[in-house]
Amino acid sequence: HAGVMPIVFASSLMIFPSSIFAWLQTRAIQGGSAEWWQLTTSFLAINSQMGKFPYIFCEILMIFFFSYFWTTVQFSPDEMSKQLKQSGSFIPGYRPGPRTAEYLETVMERITYVGAGFLAAIAVIPTVVSSSMGIPPFVSQFLGGTGLLIVVSVGLDLIQRIEANLLMRNYSGFLAQGANDSKSPRIRSRTS
């Protein structure tokens, strides 16, 4: 349910530590700081770069955190339960009300866990492969799974909006199977 947002949030926040540690390293070396401080900042700067294990580990943790956070913000089991009850619908085996909300919460947690794992794999696998092959991680980030996921989600969103716009104006739809039907409003408006 979270889409690509957890990856976007995690990637955005992961830029800050590497930038700060690189700046601290530069200041420590230029300022003639103590040797232990220079070694510490060098270690942090190197290990906070994209493609290094600590970076990848932190990115995975952040993707999981933001997946749960974004799903919690976007999906309310109590509200969904209330809407089901008002429309007269129910989930078989669960009484409308709090039991339905508990069930939806449980299902949401399980689906979010699997989805977060999938998002983490999509985000991390190209980085790991590029690091092992000696390709700069920034190349894999743009041409890897995250970029593809963003392009596909934007494309699907665009198609849904076009479809909604066409249906709102009484057209048969963008991807409707009956588009070749002569009774379709789109065809009728062109021929009349």
Q: Does residue 186 register a pLDDT over 60?
A: no
Domain assignment of residue 163, yes or no: no
Domain assignment of residue 176, yes or no: no
In the chain, the amino acid numbered 114 is: V
Which of 11-15, 102-106, 172-176 is predicted least confidently?
172-176
Domain assignment of residue 167, yes or no: no
Domain assignment of residue 48, yes or no: yes
Alpha helices in the chain (DSSP H): 5-30, 35-47, 53-74, 77-87, 98-133, 137-143, 145-168, 185-191
Host domain of residue 87: 5-143
Q: Does residue 1 register a pLDDT over 80?
A: no
Q: Which tokens in the block code for residue 85?
A: 């009850």
Q: How far is CA 29 from CA 19, 45, 47, in A?
A: 16, 12, 17
CB count within 10 Å of CB 9 equals 18
What pLDDT band is residue 107 in, cutting at 50, 70 and 90?
Answer: very high
Domain assignment of residue 175, yes or no: no
The count of structural domains within the chain is: 1
Mean pLDDT of 16-39: 80
- How does pLDDT run across 151-165, given as a tens digit for each residue? 888 888 899 999 888
Mean pLDDT of 49-75: 89
Q: What is the mean pLDDT of the chain?
A: 80
Rounded to two decimals, the pTM is 0.72
- Distance from C-alpha of 81 to C-alpha of 75, rounded to nearest angstrom: 11
Domain assignment of residue 65, yes or no: yes
Contact 6, 70 (CB under 8 A): yes
Mean pLDDT of 148-177: 78
Contact 104, 149 (CB under 8 A): no
